[in-house]
Amino acid sequence: ADLDRRATSPWATEDQYALFRRYLDECHADGGMADMDVFEFAAMIEETPIRSRVIEYTSGKDKSLIAVSLTDVLEDGLSMVYSFYTPDRPQHGLGTYMILDHVEIAREAGLPYVYLGYWVPGSAKMGYKARFSGLEVYLGGQWTPVTDPKAHRADMHPLANDPIAEQVANINLPDRRPTHL
């Protein structure tokens, strides 16, 4: 891809919001974020208690904004909080490109992991996450590899019907300072 990458501080811009709106309107018009206004968008980007970066991808030709990923920098990896891109380039696989580029960013920084966020079995919009190796689910207090995503059923876990907030609250996170990028 003929894209240039730039990591910036978590600060929302008009160009980012315009791209975000196009992405939502064309790809996720029925999603939970479809009604997000510019102020909520700015809060999502800027109001973070941890070290975050906005990774922007621009066209190598005209320098127009093509894709953005809000990325948290953790002690052991990068967490791709939310990514969006121009919807008029479906053949370019921009989402996959950003994930693979984040793997490269993590390698360059000496970080072993890239976290793609929640994978929801059966969700077409989240299905892309199962195409990458290293898929794990949190079962019985520990992370468990998923060897066959198509065979995995969310109801196999006793907490499957608990609200996601309760499941997240029970995850033990490391208590160390984040690595700097």
Q: What is the pLDDT of residues 55-103, one digit of tens each?
A: 999 998 899 999 999 999 999 999 999 899 998 876 678 989 999 999 9
- Provide mean pLDDT across the span 142-159: 73
Number of independent structural domains in the chain:
2
Q: Name the band, by pLDDT with cuts 50, 70 and 90, for residue 148.
A: confident
The pLDDT, as a whole number, for residue 181 is 55
- Provide mean pLDDT across the span 141-146: 82
In the sheet where 77-85 sits, what is the strand order? Answer: 3-8, 52-59, 65-73, 77-85, 113-115
Rounded to 5 degrees, what are φ and ψ at 165?
Answer: -60, -40
Residue 137, in any domain of the structure: yes
Indicate if 158 and 75 belong to the same structural domain.
Answer: no
* Interacting residues of 76 by C-beta distance below 8 A, sequence separation 6+: 111, 112, 113, 174, 179
Indicate if 166 and 100 belong to the same structural domain.
Answer: no
Indicate if 36 and 83 belong to the same structural domain.
Answer: yes
The pLDDT, as a whole number, for residue 161 is 46
Structural domain that includes position 135? 119-171
Indicate if 61 and 136 belong to the same structural domain.
Answer: no
Could you give the percent of the chain with pLDDT greater than 70? 79
Indicate if 62 and 132 belong to the same structural domain.
Answer: no
Indicate if 87 and 113 belong to the same structural domain.
Answer: yes
Indicate if 66 and 149 belong to the same structural domain.
Answer: no
- Provide mean pLDDT across the span 106-116: 95
Sign of CA dihedral 117, 118, 123, 129: positive
Average pLDDT for the chain: 83
Indicate if 129 and 80 belong to the same structural domain.
Answer: no
Indicate if 87 and 110 belong to the same structural domain.
Answer: yes
H or E element in which residue 6 lies: strand 3-8
Q: For residue 163, is pLDDT > 80? A: no
